[in-house]
A and B are shown apart, each in its own frame.
Chain A
Amino acid sequence: MNNANALNESIQLSLPTNAAYVSAARLTASSIANRMVFDIDEIEDIKAAVSEACTFVIKNLPQQTQDCFKIVFGIAKESLTVTISVSASLPVSALREEIGIVMIKALVDELRLPGSDSDRFKIEMTKRHKKTAFD
């Protein structure tokens, strides 16, 4: 069985914009991070960061929007990059003051937020191994 390490692989998850499924995003994030041999603290960080990003999308999505949002887990040798996106315009101006975003910033190594309103909202975050996996 190949371990999830050297290959640049990606896993995509599409979830309804329904709060009931944020736990599914956490579970998936936790499983992937575990396969990548992040340590327990790092796995908790990734899980919480992914959950907060999903929560931000669901909380701020305009009413009447019946859509799914997409989570892409980009697996690299030394890092996991998670992109959460939705085909909708979200209040980007509120992003930097949102407590969930403050939490994400503290939990991951890199956080890229959209610069201005657009038709597609995207949050991208990267968590690097403290130590390269499988050294």
Chain B
Amino acid sequence: MDFIMEHQFDQTKNGWLIDISGEVDIFNSEKMKSRFLDIIESKKADLYVSCRNLEYIDSTALGALVTVLKHVKAYGGEIYLKSIKPSIAKLFKITNLNQVFIIEGDANE
């Protein structure tokens, strides 16, 4: 399964609303990173990423997200990860990346 990423700019939040679904692993993590970098290239703003339908990510996808975060932090922005499934939240915790990203809510909310 590949991933699908949709985005739109929210004027009220002054940030990008991004919805990512599917699976991201070594096969497509570079593609995901490029998509994120293209979005912030078009407008530098905070990223509000809904992960409600994100089924799986691996270590290469986590690495890609860290790279994106570095770019976002460089212009003073933040990445908010929302509605992460417990199995994925566990991977963030194992790698201590739950202390690096702002994680809000879980998939049941």
Could you list which residues of chain A lie within 8 angstroms of chain B, going by C-beta atoms? 19-20, 22-23, 26, 41, 44, 47-48, 51-52, 55, 58-59, 98-100, 102-103, 106-107
> Given A51-B25, A55-B26 in contact, is the A99-B59 Cβ separation under 8 Å?
yes
Q: B5 → chain A, closest Cβ, in Å?
A: 17
Assess the B1–A99 pair: CB atoms within 8 A. Answer: no
Q: Which of B1, B23, B26, B87 contacts A41, CB < 8 Å?
A: B87
What are 17 A-B contacts defined by CB distance under 8 Å? A22-B25, A22-B26, A23-B1, A23-B27, A26-B25, A44-B87, A47-B56, A48-B91, A51-B25, A51-B56, A52-B59, A55-B58, A55-B59, A58-B26, A59-B26, A99-B95, A103-B95
Interface size class of B (residues with CB under 8 A): 10 to 19
Q: Which of B1, B27, B58, B60 contacts A48 (CB 8 A)?
A: B58
Task: Identify the closest chain B residue to A25 (Cβ).
Answer: B25
Closest residue of chain B to A101 (Cβ to Cβ) is B59
Closest Cβ of chain B: how far from A122's Cβ, in Å? 20
CA distance A47 to B86 in the complex (A): 14
